[in-house]
Amino acid sequence: MRILPLLAAIIVSCAACESAPAPGSAATPAAAAAGGLRLPAGSAGQLARRAIEAAGGWERWTAVRDVAFVTTFTVYDPVGNVSTESIGLHKSPLHTAPRVRFESLGLPEPVTLGFDGKEAWMLRAGAPVLEPGRMALSRFNMVSNVFWFSLPFSLAELPATLSDLGESDGATRWQRLKVALDDGAPEAPGDWFVLYLDPQTGLIDHVLGHITAEFLNHSLWVGKWLEYQDWDGIRKERRRQFFPADADGAIVGNMVVEQLVEDVRFNNHFSDQLFQKPLAASGGNPT
């Protein structure tokens, strides 16, 4: 089976016009940023609140405006051999619809990728890459990067319905929180996800996701969140591993992708222009 690699919308409203989210629904990014932590009442909201506190807390998260980190992707073939490996610098604003700039590291011909919120683009050694298949994969990877990194804080920012699925079966009784993205949600790698939360720490242990990328021939994936580290008050997983899964969240195949997230830096004061699609990426003359 050939499986390609895996990898919030600004709704502006004045404070006087904001209303409480519907039962089970999280707040929009603008509403969340304008006030305190907004989560649904009940056990689902309590699970999300505990996960956010475990990862550094809402106050710390809202104090960081953008992020840069070095990421390494290793893709494995069906028998477990390394197929490809790439390393680069990811840059994104936070608390808004995904925008990304990715700059390769260590390549003789440097590659720059971007997603401006609408279009993905790629430059190799300054020349545009316009292949539709490559663009679809690059767009998916960049959007996924932002989505994974923003968990669990984005549970209070995304328009989504949260549901407490109760404890899982097995030796470890993971607390399960389902996240179903609402219509109009920002672009994401899938449409629903189940977060398996450590009952002791509240941190995400693994994620079951229904991934909607058309180029994948399997839609259910488990991502393992490993090696948590503290980055300036935010606890993030250093390593993610992705496996095909079944509807119960059981892994049904070998690891396909491993991702490392390192050298995380917040509040870099990126300009909006950094995330705009350059003229050269469309084949135009930049001068």
Contact 233, 87 (CB under 8 A): no
Domain boundaries, the chain: 40-269
Mean pLDDT, the chain, whole residue set: 87
Name residues whose C-beta falls within 8 Å of residue 56's C-beta, 6 or more positions apart in sequence: 230, 233, 234, 235
Confidence check: pLDDT of 6 > 70:
no
Confidence check: pLDDT of 19 > 80:
no
List of long-range contacts for 217-226, beta carbons under 8 Å, 24+ apart: 217/1, 217/2, 217/3, 218/1, 218/3, 218/244, 220/244, 220/245, 220/246, 220/247, 221/6, 221/245, 222/249, 222/251, 223/6, 223/148
Q: Binning pLDDT at 50, 70 and 90, where does residue 172 land?
A: confident
**Which homologous superfamily does the CATH classification assign to the domain defined by 40-269?**
Lipoprotein localisation LolA/LolB/LppX (2.50.20.10)
Per-residue tokens: 172: 């470890």
Predicted TM-score (pTM) of this structure:
0.85
Distance between the two ends of the chain, CA-based, in angstroms?
Answer: 46
Question: Mean per-residue pLDDT for 223-242?
Answer: 98
Task: Tell me which range, 22-26, 169-173, 184-188, 236-240, is most confidently predicted by mean pLDDT.
Answer: 236-240
Confidence check: pLDDT of 191 > 80:
yes
